[in-house]
Amino acid sequence: MAVVAPAAEEGSPVLSVENVDVRFGGIQALKGVSLYVRMGEICGLIGPNGAGKTTLFNCVTRLSTVTAGTIRLHGQTIETLPPRQIIRMGIARTFQNLGIYAGMTVLENVMLGAHHLSGGRFVDALMRPRRSRQREQEIEHRCRDILADLSLEDVADVAAGSLPYATQKRMEIARALASRPTLLLLDEPAGGLTHGEVTEFGALVSRVREAYGVTVVLIEHHMGLVMSLCDRVEVFHLGQNLASGRPEEVRANPAVIDAYLGRSR
């Protein structure tokens, strides 16, 4: 399926993926994939396991290498940049398997997200300890504000590993926000959550979008969350684009029903 870039009057996309191929040896994980994400929208990526959704996230964040094609953030080509520079440009990501530091407090985990913005600070900390302490205090203050926004202030000084799974998920969002992203990539955020927790998580993502002005792309299998939360849905199948449109359009698309949703949904 050909994916058309937004019309000029709609403005340039925050993220544009154009005809991207990815090969791992003899396996082609992505074939001619394109994706255009507009500023401020919540875009859902759906499709069967192995469709290439996480591979695309890995390419955007430079955990995987693009074989062919172009990826741009705010119009700037990024597919060859180092991962740390990707973070500095405004991309933050969560993972299917939570990357938390269980023995550290919630606040310490979130502060790590802010520290990802700065490299080479060790020498600066040795040479300018007062400036380093001041900067650390500023980071802590900002991260405590983020925790308050996400209703996590009461567990700021609690070990992250002792928290319920749903709370750890919220903490991971807070850590991503600490890096001051313009684009937030969420990989299966509803995985492992109860029905009620999924509803709460969807409301949280909506609040984050409004409060922090971020654009969100999420990979998700929970169709209730996708259909209620996303402004637009992109469907991948066998490493290629299958369909694109508003949630109600995608849900009624015969090709999507046959390849992924099934007739009973």
Give me the residue spans of the domains in the chain.
1-90+182-265, 101-180
Q: Rounded distance, CA 243 to CA 250, Å?
A: 7
pLDDT at 9 over 60: no
Question: Which tens digit of pLDDT belongs to each residue from 52-67?
Answer: 999 999 999 999 999 9
∠ Cα 71 114 210 (to 5°): 70
pLDDT (0 to 100) of residue 265: 44
Q: Rounded distance, CA 116 to CA 127, Å?
A: 20
Burial class (CB in 10 A: 0-12, 13-18, 19+), 262: exposed
Question: Which tens digit of pLDDT belongs to each residue from 190-213?
Answer: 999 999 999 999 999 999 999 999
Q: Rounded distance, CA 52 to CA 40, Å?
A: 24
The DSSP call for residue 98 is -
pTM: 0.89
Which top CATH class is 1-90+182-265?
alpha beta
Q: Rounded distance, CA 84 to CA 132, Å?
A: 20
